[in-house]
Structure 1
Amino acid sequence: MTKTSRRIALAGLSAGLMAMTALTGAAHAQSINLTYLIPSGADGVAVAEELVKSFEAANPDINIDIETRPGGSEGDNLVKTRLATSSMADIFRYNSGSLFQAINPAQFLVDLTNEPWQADVQASFKQVVTAPDGTVRGAPMGAAMGGGIYYNKAIYEELGLSIPKTWAEFMANNEKIKAAGKVAVIQTYGDTWTSQLFVLADYYNVSAKDPSFASRYTAGEAKFATDAAALRGFEKLQETHDAGLFNEDFGAAKYDDGLRMVASGEGAHYPMLTFATTAIAASYPDMLDNVGFFAQPGDEADLNGLTVWMPDGLYIPNTTSNLDAAKRFVAFVASVEGCEAQTRAGGASGPYLVNGCTLPDDVPPAVSDMLPYFAEGGQNGPALEFLSPIKGPALEQITVEVGSGIRPAADGAALYDEDVRKQAQQLGLPGW
Structure 2
Amino acid sequence: MPRSKNWSVLAGFAAGLTVMTALSGSAFADTTTLTFLVPSGEENVARAQSLAKAFEAANPDIKVDIDTRPGGAEGDNLIKTRLATGEMSDIFQYNSGSLFQAINPQQNLVDLSGEPWQADVQDIFKKVVTAPDGTQRGAPIGTGMGGGIYYNKKIYSDLGLSIPKTWAEFMANNAKIKAAGKVAVIQTFKDTWTSQLFVLGDFYNVNAAEPDFATKFTGNQAKFATSPAALKGFEHQAEVFKDGYLNEDFGAATYDDGLRKLATGEGAHYPMLTFATGAIKTTYPEHLGDVGFFAMPGDDATKNGLTVWMPDGLYIAGSSEHADAAKKFVAFVASPAGCEAQTAALGVTGPYMVKGCALPTDVPPAVADLLPYFGENGAASPALEFVSPVKGPSLEQITVEVGSGIRPPADGAALYDEDVKKQAQQLGLPGW
Question: What is the TM-score when the length of structure 2 is the normalising length?
Answer: 0.90
Distance in 2 of aligned mates of 1:64 and 1:326: 9
Give the structure 1 partner of residue 363 of structure 2. Answer: 363
Match of 1:260 in 2: 260
TM-fit CA distance, 1:131: 0.8
- 1:211-232 C-alpha deviation (Å, 9 max, x unpaired): 3211211111110011111111
Q: Is the 8 A contact 1:306 1:379 kept in 2?
A: yes
* 114-123 or 228-237: bigger deviation: 114-123
Seen in structure 2, the aligned counterparts of structure 1 residues 87 and 229 have a Cα distance that, compared at 3 Å, is same
| Separation of aligned partners in 2, 1:47 and 1:82 | 23
3-state SS, counterpart of residue 251 of structure 2: coil
- The 2-side partners of 1:22 and 1:400 are apart by 67
Pairing 1:72–2:56 present = no
Pairing of 1:176-191 with structure 2 (within 5 A): 176-191=176-191
Taking the aligned partners of 1:298 and 1:395, their CA distance within structure 2 comes to 21
The question of 1:283 aligning with 2:271 is answered no
Kindly tell me: are residues 189 and 38 of structure 1, through their superposed partners in 2, closer, same or farther at Cα, counting changes over 3 Å? closer
- Contact kept in structure 2, 1:22 and 1:28, CA below 8 Å: no
> What is the deviation of 1:73?
2.6
SS in 2 for 1:369: helix
Q: CA, structure 1 residues 23+228, in 2 after alignment: closer, same or farther (shift >3 Å)? A: farther
Which consecutive unaligned segments of at least 5 residues does structure 2 have?
A: 1-19
The corresponding residue for 1:3 is none
Residue number in structure 1 paired with 2:329? 329
**Pair 1:421 & 2:425 matched:** no
Contact 1:22 1:29 in 2 (8 A): no
Q: Secondary structure at the match of 2:355?
A: coil
Question: Deviations for 1:176-205, whole angstroms, at most 9, x for unmatched residues?
Answer: 212222221111222222221101110111
**Hey, what's the Cα distance between the residues in 1 that align with 2:185 and 2:22?**
61
Identity of counterpart residues, as a percentage?
Answer: 73
Q: Kindly tell me: are residues 355 and 389 of structure 1, through their superposed partners in 2, closer, same or farther at Cα, counting changes over 3 Å?
A: same
Give the structure with higher Rg (CA). Answer: 2
1:179-328 aligned within 5 A: 179-328=179-328
The separation in 2 between residues aligned to 1:61 and 1:313, in whole angstroms, is 25
Segment drifting more, 54-63 vs 226-235: 54-63
Query: Per the alignment, do residues 33 and 21 of structure 1 end up closer, same or farther by CA in structure 2, a change over 3 Å counting?
Result: farther
Structure 1 residues 21 and 362: CA distance shift in structure 2, 3 A: farther
Give the drift of 1:317: 1.8
Alpha-carbon distance in structure 1 between the residues aligned to 2:428 and 2:102: 13
Moved more, 343-352 or 34-43: 34-43
Q: Does the 8 Å CA contact 1:21/1:28 hold for their aligned counterparts?
A: no
Instruction: Map 1:74-113 onto structure 2 (within 5 A).
Output: 74-113=74-113
Is 1:400 the counterpart of 2:400 in the alignment? yes
Give the secondary structure class of the aligned counterpart of 1:270: strand
How many residues matched?
413
Deviation at 1:362, TM superposition (A): 2.2
Q: Give the TM-score, by structure 1 length.
A: 0.90
Q: Find the counterpart in structure 2 of residue 152 from structure 1.
A: 152
Cα distance in structure 1, aligned partners of 2:249 and 2:36: 47
TM-superposition CA deviations, 1:19-65 (whole Å, max 9, x none):
x9997697665233322222232322221121111112222332222
Q: Please say if residues 224 and 231 of structure 1, whose CA atoms lie closer than 8 Å, have aligned partners that are also in contact.
A: yes
Residue 429 of structure 1 deviates from its aligned partner by 2.1
Distance 1:255 1:65, change over 3 A: closer
**Residues 217, 146 of structure 1: alpha-carbon distance in 2 compared, 3 angstrom cutoff:** same
Query: How many Å separate the matches in 1 of 2:191 and 2:68?
Result: 30
- Residue number in structure 1 paired with 2:354: 354
How far is 1:423 from its partner?
A: 2.4
Shift of the alpha carbon at 1:248? Answer: 2.2
The separation in 1 between residues aligned to 2:22 and 2:121, in whole angstroms, is 37
Cα contact 1:151–1:292 (8 A) shared by 2? yes
Letter in 2 for 1:186: I
**Cα RMSD between the aligned structures?**
2.1
Specify the code of the residue in structure 2 equivalent to 1:367: V
Amino acid at match of 2:146: G
State the alpha-carbon separation in 2 of the partners of residues 416 and 407 from structure 1: 12
Q: For structure 1, which segment, 249-258 or 198-207, has the greater mean C-alpha deviation from structure 2 after superposition?
A: 249-258
